[in-house]
Chains A and B, each alone.
Chain A
């Protein structure tokens, strides 16, 4: 008991850090203001009752309760950073899965007309895609799955899925600037370069397909479609089960915040833009 008491946080800062350990920045920001306000009000009340500064602070912190129990309660409402990381993936199209799958499928199924039509709307699609996917995710696991199917369908229809993939790679570049050490930055930069090299390789392969005979091309594309389709399906299946745990929280987020706020949180676009600007 004595040891337990000794380990209890004595200051509000320590208590708050303990209660929100493992949560994403957005969640911490959401609750910090309220807990701070609560603590200040309790502290002021205790001071007017005649308690000394230190005693009042300790009592105000103690009235908030066990930080671990609060953390357990908060976990039911807010996302941990791990869950947030998974959510970030919603807005990112998997590369090169989507690109290769889209390219080979549209060749097999001869969807040129659809492709031409979607080409004109591709920029619009890029703008609406993240909120749409988040909206689908907010409907729960089945909604998220429906969103993925729609997204995949669009990619298959639009050869210009390559642009989406480019945006995806570009989006990741923000992470390089967020790193702390030079070694870490170099590793991330190398990964980014490798990603771009793969992208370039796929582009070259894609453009060279016409050099193959029709029969060979047909076999090649079917193998490619199956070879990419199966791992992609497995990946999305795993994704589906992972998101089941987050779906309720996403719904709750959507109700508490405007779509724009949610997007700003999950994709950290603003943060990434600022970091990129400061880096350049």
Chain B
């Protein structure tokens, strides 16, 4: 299933539970949706960098198994944005469910 437009919110949600690097974020999103949400992993980094540019994320480098990796963590601004997006999603999905279940 295409997750067009929802990737930033999913990234924020994954990072709300702790800092992580790109590959793990991608795997987390796929695993949590039980394989329903499919996306091409190359598009993850532009999204991460955009979120960082907007101040929702912060990045830092950390050495892991002898490899330097760029980790991302949620900022306070990012937390607020996540809460906002969650609320919007709840409203949207509720409205769509109402319509579809009526049919």
Contacts and interface: CB of A to CB of B under 8 A. Distances in A.
B43 A69 contact: yes
A40 B66 CA distance: 13
A73 interface: yes
Interface residues of A, number: 28
Contacts of A253: 53
Interface residues of B, number: 24
Q: Which of B22, B42, B43, B68 has the most CB of A within 10 A?
A: B42
Interface of A: prevailing SS: helix
Contacts of B67: 37, 40
B55 interface: yes
A35 B45 contact: yes
A64 B52 contact: no
Contacts of A210: none
A253 B59 CA distance: 13
A74 B44 CA distance: 10
Interface of B: 21-23, 26, 39-47, 49-50, 52-55, 59, 67-70
28 contacts: A19-B42, A31-B49, A34-B70, A37-B21, A37-B67, A37-B69, A37-B70, A38-B22, A38-B45, A65-B40, A65-B41, A65-B43, A67-B42, A70-B43, A73-B42, A73-B43, A73-B46, A73-B47, A77-B46, A77-B50, A252-B49, A252-B50, A252-B53, A252-B54, A255-B55, A256-B49, A256-B52, A256-B59
